[in-house]
Structure 1
Amino acid sequence: MEVIEILREASKKIYENVKELAGTEHAAGDFGIGAGGDISRNIDIIAEKTVLDYLKEINFECIVLGEECGHVELSNNSKGYVIMDAIDGSANAVRGVPFFCSSLAFATENKLSSITEGVITNLTNGEMYWASKNNGSFFNGEQINVHDKDPIYKIIGINTSGASPELMKRLSPIYEKHEHTRHFGANALEMALFARGLLDIFIDLRGKIRIQDIAAGYLIIKEAGGLLLDANLNPLDADLSYETRVSFIAASNQKILDEIVSLIDQ
C-alpha cells in the first residue's frame, strides 16, 4: 500500500471514531500534558490510539511523532516519520464548534522539507485534503490550487491566539486596511482552506506553532502552488523536534505577499 493511502485510511478511521464524540461530555477529560505541551483530552487520546492501532495492524515501519503520545518507534527499521496531530482544534472539538481536523504527514528525514505525503481531514464532515510530493494537492478527489486571481473579497487569515502586545501592534495595519480577517481555531484546516483557494494569505507570526500542526498543510500548500515562508521571508523549513516552534506566512502569490508584508513592516 502506498504511504498516501495509509495516511488516508488512518484519517478515515479517526473520522469514524470521533464524529459522534465532539461536543459531548465524553470529549473532554484531563489526561495530563501531552508531548506537544497542551492538555490531552479524551477525544485526542481516542484519535491518536486509532492511528497507532492501525499502523501496528498493518506493520507500517515508522517512527510516530504524535501531539499527545510523543515519540513512538513502531520499528527498528523505520522508513521515516509519521507526524501526527490527530485532533487539531481540540478546543473546538471539545466544545462542539464545527471546525477541527486531523493532520497526518510522512517525512523521510528529520526535516519539514522532507515531507512526501500529507492528509488533512475535516472531522466534522469527513472531507479530505491530501498531497504527495510532485503530484499536486487534492480535495475529495479534485485537484486544487491556491487562489491566484484578483479576489472579489480579499480574505486574510491571521492566528493571533495568545499573541504579544508587540505583535498585535505590528499586525494592526492589516486589521485597519482589510475588513475580512479570519481565524477559526485549527491551523491545519485553515491551511487546507488556503490551499483550496478560499483564503488569499494565512499568517502566524507568534513563534508558537508546532510541527505537528503544520506538517500536512506544509505539503498541501506547496503542491497547490502556494508560497510558504518563515518570519524572515525565507522558504519555511525546520527540524521535527518537539521543542521546535515556527512562524510562517502562506501567500497565494508574490503580489499579495508584498502588500501584506509592507503593512507589517511599517
Structure 2
Amino acid sequence: MNRYLDYVKETLIKCFKEAKRIDYATIRRTVSLNRFGDQTFEIDIVLEKLIFEATKKRFKDATLVSEESEITEVGRGGSPFIIVDPVDGSANAARGYPCYSSSIAVAESETLDDIVCSGVINLLDGSIYFAEKNKGAFLNGRRIRVSNVEKIEEALIAVDLNVRGRLPGYVKKISNIVERAKHVRFLGTDALEICMVASGAADAFIDLRGFLRSLDFAAASLIVREAGGLVLNEKGERLNVKLIPVSRSSIVATSSKKLAEEIFSSISNQ
C-alpha cells in the first residue's frame, strides 16, 4: 500500500474512534475563535492534536496545514504537505446534528493539483472515502464512480447555503438550480457532500460564495476527480488553488461535463 495512503487511512480511523469516545459535553465546548472568526470547539482541538501526533510519528520531515494551527513544520518541513480538516461540520457536532467528518490530503507541493492521496471519514459511522492519484476512488474499500446524470431535473444537488460569507443576492443567484433540481440537500459538512458526488449518492455540489477554504475541500476534490467527476471554479474552469489557510474559493463538483454546463448556464441566466 502507498505509504501516504496507509498513513491517511490509519489516522482517519483513529479520529473516528476518538470522536466516538468523546462525551457530548466535551464535543460542544467552545474553546476560542480562530483568526478567521470561526468557533473552535474542543473536538477540533482533540482531533487536530491526534492527527499532528500521528504525522510526527510517521514522517521525519513534513508540513502540516490546518485551519486551527495553520502551518506547522515537522522536522525540516517541506514536502509532503499534509492538509488537515480535523472536523468539517463542527457546528453540527456541537449541536448534536449527526453529520460531520474528518479529512486529510497529502500533497507533494502546495496546490490542489499536487495532492497525491486523500481520505474523508464520516465521524458518525466510520465510512471512509479515499483515493490515490491515477488509481481511482474508493468507499470502504469498494471502487466508486460518479453517476451518469446529465440534467438538473434528474439530479440530486447539494448546495452550501451557509450564511457565513454569503453576499446579498446569493440565494437568488442559485434559485434557478434549486427550483429545477429533482432533489436539493444542505448537510453542513462540505467534504462529505463532495464525496457523495464521487460515490453517485449526489450528482453535484455547489458553493459559489467564494468563501470556502481550500483546506475544506482539498481531500474530497481528489476523490471526486478519481471517481470520474469534475471539480471546477466559479468560471467553470478546472479548480486549482493554493493549499494554505487563507485560500478561499467557490467550488462546483459534478458528475459530468453536461451537468456542469447546465448548472453554469442556469447561474448565468439569473
**Is the TM-score greater than 0.5?**
yes
Alignment of 1:2-41 (within 5 A): 2-21=3-22, 24-34=24-34, 37-41=37-41
Q: TM-score, normalised by structure 1?
A: 0.94
Q: Give the number of the structure whose residues are more often strand, by fraction.
A: 2
Deviations 1:122-179 (A, max 9, x none): 0001110000100000000010010014689520111121122322111111122224
Q: What is the aligned partner in structure 2 of residue 72 from structure 1?
A: 72
Q: What is the aligned partner in structure 2 of residue 239 from structure 1?
A: 242
1:173 partnered with 2:176: yes
Q: What is the aligned partner in structure 2 of residue 203 from structure 1?
A: 206
> Compared with structure 1, are the counterparts of its residues 86 and 36 closer, same or farther at alpha carbon in structure 2 (3 Å cutoff)?
farther
Q: How many residues align?
A: 265
Aligned partners of 1:36 and 1:70 also within 8 Å: no
Q: What is the aligned partner in structure 2 of residue 145 from structure 1?
A: 145
**SS of 2:169's equivalent?**
helix
1:48 partnered with 2:51: no
> Compared with structure 1, are the counterparts of its residues 37 and 73 closer, same or farther at alpha carbon in structure 2 (3 Å cutoff)?
farther
Deviations 1:78-108 (A, max 9, x none): 3321000011000111122111100100111
Q: What is the RMSD of the two structures over their aligned residues, measured on CA atoms?
A: 1.7
How far the C-alpha of 1:35 sits from its partner, in A, is 5.7
Alpha-carbon distance between aligned partners in 1 of 2:39 and 2:141, rounded to the nearest angstrom: 34
How far the C-alpha of 1:218 sits from its partner, in A, is 0.9
Alpha-carbon distance between aligned partners in 2 of 1:37 and 1:235, rounded to the nearest angstrom: 29
**SS of 2:129's equivalent?**
strand
**SS of 1:16's equivalent?**
helix
**SS of 2:31's equivalent?**
coil
- AA aligned to 2:161 is T
Identity of aligned residues (%): 33
Q: TM-score, normalised by structure 2?
A: 0.93
Aligned partners of 1:148 and 1:252 also within 8 Å: yes
**SS of 1:12's equivalent?**
helix
Alpha-carbon distance between aligned partners in 2 of 1:213 and 1:129, rounded to the nearest angstrom: 15
Q: What is the aligned partner in structure 1 of residue 232 from structure 2?
A: 229
- AA aligned to 1:31 is V
**SS of 1:19's equivalent?**
helix
Alpha-carbon distance between aligned partners in 2 of 1:98 and 1:5, rounded to the nearest angstrom: 27
